[in-house]
């Protein structure tokens, strides 16, 4: 009754209402996606700058770097030399002059680069895409409702995120440079400007994350409410697709975890602006640097699961759809995610084994951390079980899902080394950790993101992405990714510390020069491969082949909606009669049964 009125009430919306301050969950989802892809370039670019320095320490960057003659004799030979000449002659201190004189990355600038690389990737790329983009686009469509519970809050969530990105970007240009104390912002390095020379950068860093926290807060309340209250008739919790389960759990984690970071940031900013010394000790007393670490990681560990759970959800959808089989152990998949969500709160100390925390606690946190490896293993075995006796279609989204599973296995296994306190003594703060992070977050989450984008693109934009380009992008990414990050395990085993700008300063790292160069070349390949994805994405929005309503023959509700999905999503709110993974049911003609098909109804072909 109300439903029909909603859709028939079709009116033209102004450009601003439709594309900028949209209240429609699908548009907000797409906004988050484009936002995340743009920030992906910022984050990636920062990484390439510091990778250059690691391979060729103290040598000028290609293209913008000054020539050898210019640096030695002041003789202008290249165009870049002319630029440097102009910069040095100008009266004011130019940004380039301070941060990379002659195109050589300065050590302080180096610290800023990796700090901001991680900050941008974690808070402005992976979470906005996984949670903001997929969460917004998929939740109402997959649970069968017309929009989010609070559309205005939803819009606010996006614009808070934009504000946060603007604040974060301003930080690059303030005197003293941007934050340079690591994405983990350990105090006292971060809490007093005298230790880094960074003035406003660190404060803007904090402020920006605080605003991003508001965005997450508003978003997560919305997701939780929507999933609890607005499921279509018949959509019980155990008929929810796993990706919705993962987003539901992530929303709860975000709701509870982010405020801890926000509070810690407020204390940090007080330390900086008012000298409150919450995180430093003074002669008369004061606080404790470890307090920051406890607060940060109490947030931080749930945060890393926020980064992976939606990826697991997406991979589960893709593996089931393209194996044409039900998810193996649907319920145990759900319980494993719930277990991760609980255990995730009691493992944070594994980031602090060597911090000076009481050693007895190290043993406790080792135990809980070992425990959390169990649900991760369960999920992996269930993905394998899903492929067992399937009929696997190697579509590009499926290739990404397979990459996700195999890369996550490597990342999960490397976690066991670090969870082991004695072994962690050696590999803590080395490239081993860097390898682990990237196997779980790039190899895991980002492959799921890529696969998800290609998979849902036809529903988002009514067109396919170009498959040849997608395949080239996949293989280049897969190979370059492994060439970039696998050798980092070896660097770590060799004792190569993370966060150093020049490994050649150390006798025991001399043997790693070649490996660092190899990693950097792979990283550049990896970076440039992403241009293919972004080109393909934007090109396909306008020029892609027009897609039908349900091209992959998927059961879940989003594919019941017409393409392109209209305002209000469904003509009639669908009724759900079965679980999301009824593929290859015996004695059925088709190998799929939409969730909306009633029990015992005569089989009807396709759509």
Partner 1 sequence: MLQWLPENVSTFGQGVDNLFYAIYYITLITLILVMATLITFLIKYRYQEGKKATYIEGSTTLEIVWTAATTVIVFVLAMFSYPQWNKIKSPTSFPENPDVVVQVSGKQFNWDMTYPGPDNEFGTDDDLTLENELHVPVNAVVHIQLTAVDVIHSFFVPQLRLKQDALPSRFIDMWFEATKAGRYEIPCAELCGFGHSGMLGYLNVHAQTDYDAWLQERWPQ
Answer whether 595's CB lies under 8 Å from 556's CB: yes
Helix (H, G, I), strand (E, B) or coil at 413: helix
Q: How far is CA 118 from the centre of its chain?
A: 10
Among partner 1, ligand HEM, Cu ion, none, what does residue 307 contact (CB within 5–8 Å per kind)?
A: ligand HEM
Judged by beta carbon, residue 158 or residue 298, the one nearer Cu ion is: 298
| Sites for partner 1 among residues 262-281 (CB under 8 A) | 280-281
Among Cu ion, partner 1, ligand HEM, none, what does residue 433 contact (CB within 5–8 Å per kind)?
A: ligand HEM
DSSP state of 445: I
CA distance linking residue 607 with residue 597, whole number of Å: 11
According to CB under 8 A, which one of 197, 562, 564, 606 is a site residue for partner 1? 197
Judged by beta carbon, residue 13 or residue 429, the one nearer ligand HEM is: 429
DSSP string over 542-591: HHSPBP-S-TT---SGGGGS-SSPPTTS-SS-----S-TT-BS-TT-SSS
Among Cu ion, ligand HEM, partner 1, none, what does residue 59 contact (CB within 5–8 Å per kind)?
A: none
Which one of the spans 126-134, 235-243, 325-333, 544-552 is the region binding partner 1 (CB under 8 A)?
Answer: 325-333
| CA dist list (Å): 13 to 3, 147, 342, 540 | 20, 17, 44, 24
CB of 475 to partner 1, least distance (A): 15
Judged by beta carbon, residue 206 or residue 300, the one nearer Cu ion is: 300
According to CB under 8 A, which one of 221, 256, 291, 370 is a site residue for partner 1? 370
- How many C-beta neighbours within 10 Å does residue 311 have? 28
CA distance linking residue 480 with residue 174, whole number of Å: 35
Structural tokens at position 489: 């395990």
- Listed as own residue / partner, the contacts of 569-572 with beta carbons closer than 8 Å and 24 or more positions apart are 569/26, 569/140, 569/141, 569/145, 569/146, 569/147, 570/3, 570/144, 570/146, 571/4, 571/7, 572/3, 572/4
Judged by beta carbon, residue 172 or residue 417, the one nearer ligand HEM is: 417
374 counts as binding partner 1 under rule CB under 8 A: yes
Structural tokens at position 446: 């980002």
59 counts as binding partner 1 under rule CB under 8 A: no
DSSP string over 75-122: ---SHHHHHHHHHHHSSS--HHHHHSGGGPPPHHHHHHHHHHHHHIII
Count residues binding partner 1 (CB under 8 A).
Answer: 93
Residues lying near ligand HEM in the complex (CB under 6 A) are found at 184, 304, 307-308, 350-351, 369, 372-373, 376, 412, 415-416, 418-419, 424, 428, 433, 436-437, 440-441, 444
CA distance linking residue 237 with residue 228, whole number of Å: 9
Among Cu ion, partner 1, ligand HEM, none, what does residue 189 contact (CB within 5–8 Å per kind)?
A: partner 1
CB of 208 to ligand HEM, least distance (A): 18
Q: How far is CA 529 from the centre of its chain?
A: 18
According to CB under 8 A, which one of 289, 444, 544, 594 is a site residue for partner 1? 289
CB of 37 to ligand HEM, least distance (A): 19
Tokens 């003293």 -> residue = 176
Judged by beta carbon, residue 77 or residue 364, the one nearer partner 1 is: 364
Among Cu ion, ligand HEM, partner 1, none, what does residue 308 contact (CB within 5–8 Å per kind)?
A: ligand HEM
Answer whether 376's CB lies under 8 Å from 340's CB: yes
Whose CA is closest to 581, among 447, 436, 383? 383
CB of 61 to partner 1, least distance (A): 18
430 counts as binding partner 1 under rule CB under 8 A: yes
Which one of the spans 24-32, 177-185, 245-253, 308-316 is the region binding partner 1 (CB under 8 A)?
Answer: 177-185
Judged by beta carbon, residue 102 or residue 277, the one nearer partner 1 is: 277
Site map (CB under 5 A) of Cu ion, residues 289-308, x = contact: ------------x-------
The three-point CA angle 416-419-423 to 5° equals 90
CB of 312 to partner 1, least distance (A): 16
Answer whether 205's CB lies under 8 Å from 180's CB: no
Judged by beta carbon, residue 105 or residue 327, the one nearer Cu ion is: 105
Among ligand HEM, partner 1, Cu ion, none, what does residue 323 contact (CB within 5–8 Å per kind)?
A: partner 1
101 counts as binding partner 1 under rule CB under 8 A: no
Judged by beta carbon, residue 104 or residue 434, the one nearer ligand HEM is: 434
| Sites for partner 1 among residues 469-498 (CB under 8 A) | 489-490, 493-495, 497
Q: Catalog residues that contact Cu ion under the rule CB under 5 A.
A: 301
């Amino acid at each position: 009754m109300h439903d029909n009125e909603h859709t028939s009430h079709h009116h033209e919306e102004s450009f601003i209402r439709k594309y900028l301050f949209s209240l429609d969950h699908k548009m907000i989802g797409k906004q988050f996606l484009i936002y995340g892809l743009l920030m992906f370039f910022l984050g990636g670019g920062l990484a390439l700058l510091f990778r250059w320095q690691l391979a060729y320490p103290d040598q000028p960057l290609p293209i913008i770097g000054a020539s050898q003659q210019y640096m030695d004799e002041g003789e202008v030979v290249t165009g870049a030399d002319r630029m440097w000449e102009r910069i040095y002659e100008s009266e004011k201190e130019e940004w380039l002059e301070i941060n990379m004189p002659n195109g050589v990355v300065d050590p302080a600038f180096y610290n800023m680069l990796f700090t901001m690389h991680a900050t941008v990737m974690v808070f402005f790329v992976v979470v906005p895409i996984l949670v903001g983009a997929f969460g917004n686009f998929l939740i109402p469509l997959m649970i069968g409702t017309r929009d989010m519970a609070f559309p205005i809050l939803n819009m606010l969530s996006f614009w808070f995120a934009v504000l946060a990105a603007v604040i974060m970007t301003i930080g690059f240009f303030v005197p003293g440079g941007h934050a340079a104390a690591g994405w983990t912002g350990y105090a006292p390095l971060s809490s007093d400007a005298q230790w880094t020379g960074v003035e406003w950068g660190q404060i803007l860093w904090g402020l920006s994350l605080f605003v991003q926290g508001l965005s997450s807060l508003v978003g997560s309340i919305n997701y939780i409410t929507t999933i609890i209250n607005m499921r279509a008739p018949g959509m019980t919790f155990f008929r929810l697709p796993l990706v919705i389960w993962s987003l539901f759990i992530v929303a709860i984690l975000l709701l509870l975890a982010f405020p801890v970071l926000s509070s810690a940031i407020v204390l940090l900013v007080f330390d900086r602006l008012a000298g409150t010394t919450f995180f430093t000790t003074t002669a008369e007393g004061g606080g404790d640097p470890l307090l920051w670490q406890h607060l940060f990681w109490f947030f931080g560990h749930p945060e890393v699961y926020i980064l992976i759970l939606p990826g697991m959800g997406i991979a589960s959808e893709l593996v089931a759809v393209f194996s044409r089989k039900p998810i193996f152990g649907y319920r145990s998949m759900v319980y494993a995610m719930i277990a991760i969500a609980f255990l995730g709160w009691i493992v944070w100390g594994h980031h602090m084994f060597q911090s000076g925390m009481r050693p007895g606690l190290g043993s406790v946190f080792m135990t809980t951390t070992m425990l959390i490896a169990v649900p991760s293993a369960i999920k992996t075995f269930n993905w394998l079980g899903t492929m067992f006796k399937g009929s696997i279609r190697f579509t590009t989204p499926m290739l990404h899902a397979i990459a996700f599973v195999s890369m996550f296995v490597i990342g999960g296994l490397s976690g066991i080394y670090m969870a082991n306190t004695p072994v962690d003594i050696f590999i803590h703060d080395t490239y081993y950790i860097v390898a682990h992070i990237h196997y779980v977050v790039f190899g895991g989450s980002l492959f799921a993101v890529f696969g998800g984008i290609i998979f849902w693109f036809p529903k988002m934009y009514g067109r396919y992405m170009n498959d040849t380009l997608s395949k080239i992008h996949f293989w280049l990414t897969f190979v370059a990714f492994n060439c970039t990050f696998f050798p980092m395990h070896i660097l770590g085993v060799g004792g190569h510390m993370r966060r150093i700008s020049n490994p050649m300063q150390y006798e025991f790292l001399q043997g790693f020069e070649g490996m660092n160069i190899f990693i950097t070349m792979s990283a550049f390949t990896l970076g440039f491969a992403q241009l293919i994805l972004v080109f393909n994405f934007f090109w396909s929005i306008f020029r892609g082949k027009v897609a039908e309503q349900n091209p992959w023959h998927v059961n879940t509700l989003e594919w019941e909606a017409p393409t392109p999905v209209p305002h209000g999503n469904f003509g009639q709110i669908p009724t759900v009669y079965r679980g999301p993974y009824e593929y290859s049911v015996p004695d059925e003609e088709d190998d799929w049964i939409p969730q909306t098909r009633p029990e015992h109804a005569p089989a009807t072909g396709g759509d």
